[in-house]
Structure 1
């Protein structure tokens, strides 16, 4: 949250604004170059941060807020600050466009928050448990178009070129009096990627409930996640301490990952009491996950006898979880595993 204003300014400073500027620069245009989604209060925070820092963005943005209900908040929760911007004192910025207020469904979930059409990427949100209101995100990519099995097509007498393209587009063709249908040569359609990103939490079981709801409604074919990004702030020996601060330990995360059939788990939000794993250990981890992690080059910090993140990694690996485990790091790039079935 604190890095968001600076990130938006960096887009300008790095010369990336040309990729997001709207062709129509009319201030009355309700569209926006960048759309930002988050809990109630984010709109005011970003407006004030940009206004007080005299930020002069060359593109437009809009903040769409998830409206929190009592069931989304911790027990006895009371807002300590006004979350609604006072337009008489803090009017919208010239680069700001009107955002939507997004209300939860009766089951507590925010569905399709980006308002995409059917068969497009869907983003759903859920409330997760923390000491303050916190949100998790589920991204569901559309099914992939079925690919053509070229070998089968050739065996059926289909020449390479235009006719294969017709079959791939779902059209039936006739060759030398023989009919070849798309289903004869197309491979099974593969589902799109499913990625979940959780905020600060000690209990994100609402993600499992959301997946179950989507599965029951036939919106997903199975309860499976390709990638889950989840915090593991402290190790299991400090469970009570983590719980009191609203954070997770490896055993809690791994149980959820097993229930969700997660293929790749990215652990993050580690306490500063742990040092990074030595580079030699990092290389071992990289090899085990197929060179898909690219670590930034950082100088080693003074360890001061602190335990390393190896303890969290070891605890995560000691469970029944069979997927890949990655420890997040600044500037780490993670490749989402391909869907094969």
Structure 2
């Protein structure tokens, strides 16, 4: 049985120390060390953090599998933009994956493995926000956050983990949010989905440690300008169009809340989303066994880190009394 110091490699690192370590990591990480391109599968690459990560990983020497839905439809231009980048030392393959469909996920992952022979890093990034008062959301509206953000991650885990186990090692980076720890009224479904995906990723980290697979969570901690907010407003408007007369009558009650919600969905243009994508790329480049279990990036980091640290302490205390601890090993 491993001692507790081995199990607690997932303890939360102090923010400054973690970022200092990440900042010293060179680009072209695995290729420089092995002579081969590491293969990185990223979901949700049509825009935002995913799009930036796809290009950043490729420029760093990785072979990127850029996954997105509607490759021949709504996201055709985004797919072509990534394809054009491939070449001149960069390798990017675009694969269609809709994380809402197990069949699509399985087919896309199988195609990626057929083309490259391996998946070294999975970045589970696809996500949506369907905002609004909990009272005005049908179970289906509320669950749409969870089915994409949590269910989508689970479908991809199920497709990728067996492959990583067979190849003897792998890294999974799960994109979350500061709202996986703190609750934002009017974003109840989104917060629930991020709370759920963090719980699942934490459990997965314990369960696959013996297979030499590491799991880390990244929490952006502010309204970085991506298409997430624009899409959230579209989802809100679509949800309103489906409300019956009784629910529409409640809109007046929530009018000030809705006004505040829409203002809060305005992205902060002073923030650079590359802070997040760069942090993910550096996290992936850290030596196996030295990555933090969580990394928070953004202005609200100082508020979220103590919550993560308290959770980490509680979790480690609980694991001391859990019989599964004897089954955990990173060898």
| TM-score, structure 2 as length reference | 0.34
| Structure number having the greater strand percentage | 1
| Structure number having the greater helix percentage | 2
Higher-Rg structure is: 1
| TM-score, structure 1 as length reference | 0.34
